[in-house]
Amino acid sequence: MSVTRFIGRALLASIFIKNGLDHLQNPDPIVRAARGAEVPEPELAVKVNSGVMVGAGALLALGLAPRAASVALATSLVPTTVIGHPFWDKDGKERAQQQGQFLKNLALFGALLYVSKD
């Protein structure tokens, strides 16, 4: 693996590892959002999603099974984005902020798709 690919994968993985660890340590806000979206067993769903972020993020950062790791991260990003950043339900400044986060996640999704084919 080239140094450029290693650095790129590690940088891409870093946000997933950090957020996954944050959500495992402080799951309450994420669980509330999942509960509000009527996710069945929201506590378990948050733990599983956070675990995927940490585990697949670590694999991607290390360059181990990068295709599978990027697909797992892309899959975990879908509910995270839709449930976590519902800009369509917001107004004003909060709408703009959530829309920005939503678009950031779409960009991450695109990067993960690219890595999955690399």
pLDDT in tens, 49-88: 999 999 999 999 999 999 999 999 999 999 989 998 888 9
**What residue numbers bound the domain in which 112 lies?**
3-117
* Highest mean pLDDT out of 80-84, 87-91, 110-114: 110-114
**pLDDT computed for residue 1 by the predictor:** 66
Q: Which amino acid is at 111?
A: A
Is the predicted pLDDT of residue 29 greater than 90, yes or no? yes
Whose tokens are 């697949």? That residue is 56
Q: Between helices 66-84 and 92-117, what is the axis angle to 10°? A: 160
Q: Indicate the number of domains in the chain.
A: 1
